[in-house]
Structures are given as structure tokens and as C-alpha cells.
């Protein structure tokens, strides 16, 4: 794996509902500094934020509200601080979710979270198909990555930068400026996932063409 363009400080948002250890290992494995925190001053001082997530949408949003992170994340994203949502973290970027009950999300990506049309849970490896005009993710077109989810994001086509397929295609990656959502787990996807994260961090932080 190539060295990072420059050593970044990545803030991993700790709100009690994320896969923090594996995300932190992935960040430091890329040669970057990692700050796992819920302190807004600490997070604001980083080059990019990662919003991980494991569990249910309503509980995760309640935790973000409890730790006073909702308005912080909205403000930082709108001010241009890069934000990468992973798995449930990607779903939290949306406007609403119907998981258990209708719950408002962060509203950073237009759209709604709903169950997969196929019954059951999507667990395992699947191929990513990337929209070729997205220079950060396009090199990962065709990469096989690890998924573990039962809900997906529906969003207007202009925000969809990657899909994967079961019986039908579903949204696997979204982007709105410097906000990116990844439905898969790049931190659990071996070398392909690490390379994707490296390009995302370098690109969103200004070291590659966005």
C-alpha cells in the first residue's frame, strides 16, 4: 500500500453506536493519526470525520442527540469539513428512516432509509459498481467489499455514486460534495477497502482531485 500524500488527523465520532476499534485500526493502518472522541472541539480540529454505526437508526440518532452531536455534524459538514459515513453511519446522513418508526436523520443527503426489497439481511461480500465521473471512488469499480445490513438509502440519482446488486441494484455509496456515505465496511474489506479509504481521505482533504 502506498504512503499517504500527507499525514492527516481523522476524527472518529464516538456516540456509543459505532464499530470504533476496527475503524481506528484502519485509519492508523493508513499512516494517519486517529482521534476517537465525542468532544466537539477535538473533532472540529481534525482533517476529516468518520461517522461509523452499528445497530438501529432510531437508537443511533437518539445517541447523537444525547451527546449534542447532531447540530455539530450538520454545521461541520455544511462548513466543508469532510465527513465519511460507514454502514449505519451512511444511513444517518439521510433525511429520514422507517426502521422501527419514522425518525429524522442528519439531512445531509436527500433521501429515505427503508428495508431491502429482498427479505432478510445482506451479509457478505458483494461487488461495487461505481459511477465513473466520481474520481475518488472510480478506481474501486468492480472491487468486492464486505456488507452487513438490512436497510438501504433511496436518494436522487445525482447523489448515488455506487451500487451493488442482489436481485436488484441498491445504493452502496452516496456523495454530496465532501460528504460521502459507504454502505459497506471498508475497514473490514481487506486491501480493497483500505485503498478506497486512502483515496477518500486524501481526496476529500485536498490532496487529490475531487
Calculate helix-pair angle for 70-78, 57-66, nearest 10 degrees. 90
Question: Rounded mean pLDDT of 13-26?
Answer: 90
Residue 115 within any structural domain of the chain = yes
pTM above 0.75, yes or no: yes
Residue with C-alpha cell 422501527? 100
Among 1-5, 82-86, 147-151, 164-168, name the one with the lowest average pLDDT. Answer: 1-5
Q: What is the DSSP string of 34-89?
A: EEEE--HHHHHTSSEEEE---S-HHHHHHHHHHTT-HHHHHHHHHTT--EEEETHH
- Above 80 in pLDDT, residue 34? yes
Q: What is the DSSP string of 100-129?
A: SS-EE---SS--EEEE-SSSS-EEEEEE-E
Residues near 193 by beta carbon (within 8 Å), at least 6 away in sequence: 26, 143, 145, 146, 184, 185, 186, 187
Return the percentage of the chain with pLDDT > 70, whole number.
95
Residues near 88 by beta carbon (within 8 Å), at least 6 away in sequence: 17, 52, 53, 54, 55, 57, 60, 149
- Above 90 in pLDDT, residue 205? no
Residue 94 within any structural domain of the chain = yes
Contact 199, 136 (CB under 8 A): yes
CATH number of domain containing 58: 3.40.50.880
Angle in degrees, CA 179, 87, 174, rounded to 5: 35
Residue 78 within any structural domain of the chain = yes
Based on the residue annotation, tell me whether 210 is a catalytic residue of this protein.
Answer: no
Among 11-20, 32-41, 102-111, 177-186, name the one with the lowest average pLDDT. Answer: 11-20
Return the percentage of the chain with pLDDT > 90, whole number.
84
From the list 32, 122, 149, 185, the catalytic residue is: 185
Q: What is the pLDDT of residues 87-126, one digit of tens each?
A: 999 999 999 999 999 999 999 999 999 999 876 788 899 9
From the list 32, 34, 87, 195, the catalytic residue is: 87
Residue 159 within any structural domain of the chain = yes
Q: How far apart are CA 5 and CA 10, in angstroms?
A: 14
Residue 77 within any structural domain of the chain = yes
Based on the residue annotation, tell me whether 195 is a catalytic residue of this protein.
Answer: no
From the list 34, 122, 149, 187, the catalytic residue is: 187
Q: What is the DSSP string of 153-186?
A: EE--GGGEEEEEESSSEEEEEEEETTEEEESS-G
Residue 1 within any structural domain of the chain = no
Residue 134 within any structural domain of the chain = yes
Provide the pLDDT confidence category of residue 146 given band limits of 50, 70 and 90. Answer: very high
- Name the CA radius of gyration of the chain, rounded: 15
Q: Running DSSP on this structure, what letter comes out for residue 149? A: E
Residue 210 within any structural domain of the chain = no
Q: How many domains does the chain have?
A: 1
Based on the residue annotation, tell me whether 34 is a catalytic residue of this protein.
Answer: no
Determine the pLDDT at residue 68.
Answer: 97
Question: Rounded mean pLDDT of 15-24?
Answer: 88
- Above 50 in pLDDT, residue 64? yes
Provide the pLDDT confidence category of residue 209 given band limits of 50, 70 and 90. Answer: very low
Determine the pLDDT at residue 134.
Answer: 92
- Above 70 in pLDDT, residue 129? yes
- Above 80 in pLDDT, residue 210? no
**Structural domain span for residue 191:** 9-204
Amino acid at each position: 500500500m502506498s504512503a499517504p500524500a500527507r499525514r492527516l488527523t481523522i476524527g472518529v465520532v464516538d456516540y456509543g453506536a459505532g464499530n470504533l476499534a476496527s475503524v481506528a485500526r484502519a485509519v492508523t493502518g493508513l499512516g494517519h493519526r486517529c482521534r476517537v472522541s465525542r468532544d466537539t472541539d477535538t473533532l472540529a480540529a481534525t482533517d476529516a470525520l468518520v461517522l461509523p454505526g452499528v445497530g438501529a437508526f432510531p437508537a443511533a440518532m437518539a445517541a447523537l442527540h444525547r451527546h449534542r452531536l447532531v447540530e455539530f455534524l450538520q454545521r461541520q459538514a455544511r462548513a466543508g469539513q469532510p465527513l465519511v459515513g460507514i454502514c449505519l453511519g451512511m444511513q444517518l446522513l439521510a433525511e429520514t428512516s422507517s426502521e422501527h418508526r419514522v425518525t429524522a436523520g442528519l439531512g445531509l443527503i436527500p433521501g429515505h432509509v427503508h428495508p431491502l426489497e429482498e427479505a432478510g439481511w445482506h451479509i457478505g461480500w458483494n461487488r461495487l459498481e461505481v459511477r465513473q465521473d466520481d474520481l475518488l471512488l472510480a478506481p474501486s469499480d468492480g472491487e468486492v467489499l464486505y456488507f452487513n445490513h438490512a436497510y438501504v438509502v433511496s436518494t436522487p440519482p445525482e447523489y448515488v455514486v455506487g451500487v451493488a446488486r442482489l436481485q436488484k441494484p441498491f445504493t452502496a455509496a452516496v456523495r454530496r460534495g465532501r460528504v460521502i456515505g459507504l454502505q459497506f465496511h471498508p475497514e473490514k474489506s481487506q486491501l480493497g477497502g483500505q485503498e478506497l479509504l486512502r483515496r477518500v481521505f486524501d481526496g476529500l482533504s485536498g490532496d487529490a482531485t475531487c
